[in-house]
Structure 1
Amino acid sequence: MIRDILVNLAQGTDKDVACDFAASLAASFGAHLTGLAVAYEIDVPPFYMGALPTDFIDAQLLENQAASQKAAERFAACAAAAGVAHEVRSFSASLGVAANSFAEMARLFDLTVVAQPNPDQPGPEEVIAETVLMDSGRAVLIVPYVQTKPFTGERAVVAWDGSRAAARALAEALPLLHRTKQVEIFRVVTHMEDEDTAGPEVARHLARHGLAATVRKLPVSSGEPIAAAILNEVSDQGADLVVMGGYGHSRLREMVLGGVTREILATMTVPVLMAH
């Protein structure tokens, strides 16, 4: 069951889609909700320190602290309106330190919710989402920046490729899948006529958990984007949740995501539960 949810709180925007969605999830599961509000510090390279006036740095920090406080107050109001038990955790840190701290926190929560990066409003979301996905060891639920609906759980699509990451995502998604009305296992294959034993095996496994799932396979020619096939299936089926593995590795503290993962993160239109 999902009893303990963590959400990263957005700043500099009138609407926090991750906060709203996490509150609806917490209400649905009767879970406790924790919001993290960060007052971001300016991470200035040493050779630039002399070029930035001290009063500018101080003013920026005060502005960021005010934004963090506003995000915390908005979260408290949202959680109270949803009728869920909640708390706010706050601290000041650079983006890199904050992202790593958030990933460490996520290890002791049942589910972590973050917002999809909005290309029109650059912010910390991309670094936060990638770091918690790669380093927390837990599943992450990413909410599109265009999300308007609360958690409903009408139809879920499980993008299954048999990988370790997909298996972890499926296992951690089970509580969510139990709240859905329909579950589809979506398999991308090279040739439609090839026998698909993996899809039915996933369906068998879910049946043992009391979940009835259909299996659908779609042939994708060499070079055709897999991410596009997944997103088209989500649209065609009217799904409101995607479950899939997230791929990539950390190199010299730089997040390097696989092509499918990055494309999904950039173009997703419904919440996606990912695990690495």
Structure 2
Amino acid sequence: MSYKDILVFLDGSTDNRTRLEFAFSLARAHGARLTGVDVNAAAAFEGEWAERAKSLSDTFHAGAEDSGVPVRFKIADRDAVGWKNFYAHYADLLIATQPNPEASGKVLPGVPEQVLMSAGVPMIVLPQSWKPGPIGRQVVIAWSPSAQATRVVHDAMPILALAQKVTAFAFDPLADQEDADVEMLREHLLAHGIKIAIDKWSNTGDLAPIEALFASRALEEADLIVAGAYSHSRFREALFGGMTKSLMQQFSLPVLVSH
């Protein structure tokens, strides 16, 4: 149970180095090939980004040599942007960073949100200015009995199988006598050799699901959130922009997300 083809988006931003380091470490852990896709827009080759943008291929291949990971390098078409030009359909997992307002116009439009919507492939989204650290040791699943949550759990199986601890966070869980929903999730994952703890949050109307998740005990030691991209619109906004500043400041964990 592992990812065999991982794709990382590359650009001239200061976040590129940590994103690339994480991509190599994940590919090495799963014995995967890593595809690097240059998604710089034409404007990236001017000004302060220029040197980093021009050296992406050299940087990528130097990292591959150091890590021993098999790689391939692609350049997205800067004039005809579409899913085919991002090569996302040919991977098991994508790696990107949250949109940064400072990168507007310097990264091809559609990365990462529109790629996620069209690719049919899960994506790990790293926070802006993320400091490198372990990902996937302590995992929290944002669970609901929905198609989005079910899809992302199955997409995350290779990471869940290697995790030291997995917790399912259930917001306002079904109130039947046996708590069948979360217990059946536990049994399903156990059939795959994955043990989970369960953290239930009763809905009192004070907090939205995304706010309850960030307030929960489950996230205290977590290093990765697994969540369906569009289960809650506020989660999508927090991940890709448009959310209030206070909630965005809380968004400091990588997220594995599917659409």
Category of TM-score, reference length = shorter chain: 0.7 to 0.9
Corresponding residue for residue 145 of structure 1: 128
**Aligned counterparts of 1:203 and 1:191: Cα–Cα separation in 2:** 15
How far is 1:274 from its partner?
0.6
TM-score (norm 2): 0.83
1:8 aligns with 2:41: no
Higher Cα Rg, which structure:
1
Corresponding residue for residue 198 of structure 1: 181
Q: Point out the structure with the larger strand share.
A: 1
Corresponding residue for residue 46 of structure 1: none
1:174 aligns with 2:157: yes
Corresponding residue for residue 134 of structure 1: 117
Aligned residues between the structures: 247
Give the match's secondary structure for 1:13.
coil
**Aligned counterparts of 1:215 and 1:141: Cα–Cα separation in 2:** 23
Corresponding residue for residue 33 of structure 2: 32
1:213 aligns with 2:196: yes
**Aligned counterparts of 1:126 and 1:234: Cα–Cα separation in 2:** 36
Match of 2:100 among 115, 118, 130: 118
How far is 1:27 from its partner?
1.3
Q: How does 1:41-80 map to 2 (within 5 A)?
A: 41=42, 63=46, 68-80=53-65
Change (3 A) 1:141 1:121: same
Corresponding residue for residue 107 of structure 1: 89
**Aligned counterparts of 1:206 and 1:93: Cα–Cα separation in 2:** 42
2:58 partner amino acid: E
Change (3 A) 1:61 1:274: closer
How much is the aligned-residue C-alpha RMSD, in angstroms? 2.8
**Aligned counterparts of 1:135 and 1:189: Cα–Cα separation in 2:** 30
Change (3 A) 1:234 1:138: farther
Give the match's secondary structure for 2:81.
helix
**Aligned counterparts of 1:131 and 1:20: Cα–Cα separation in 2:** 24
1:33 partner amino acid: L
**Aligned counterparts of 1:236 and 1:36: Cα–Cα separation in 2:** 32
2:97 partner amino acid: A
1:70 partner amino acid: S
How far is 1:39 from its partner?
4.5
How far is 1:179 from its partner?
1.2
**Aligned counterparts of 2:54 and 2:85: Cα–Cα separation in 1:** 17
1:183 aligns with 2:184: no
Deviations 1:208-236 (A, max 9, x none): 00011111111233362221222233774
Match of 1:86 among 54, 71, 87: 71
After superposing the two structures, state which structure 1 stretch, 30-39 or 2-11, moved more: 30-39
Corresponding residue for residue 238 of structure 2: 263
1:160 aligns with 2:154: no
How far is 1:92 from its partner?
3.6
**Aligned counterparts of 1:234 and 1:80: Cα–Cα separation in 2:** 41
Deviations 1:182-232 (A, max 9, x none): 000110007989863211111111000001111111123336222122223
**Aligned counterparts of 1:240 and 1:77: Cα–Cα separation in 2:** 28
**Aligned counterparts of 2:71 and 2:240: Cα–Cα separation in 1:** 28
**Aligned counterparts of 1:217 and 1:126: Cα–Cα separation in 2:** 38
Runs of 5+ in structure 2 lacking a partner?
242-247
Percent identity at matched positions? 27
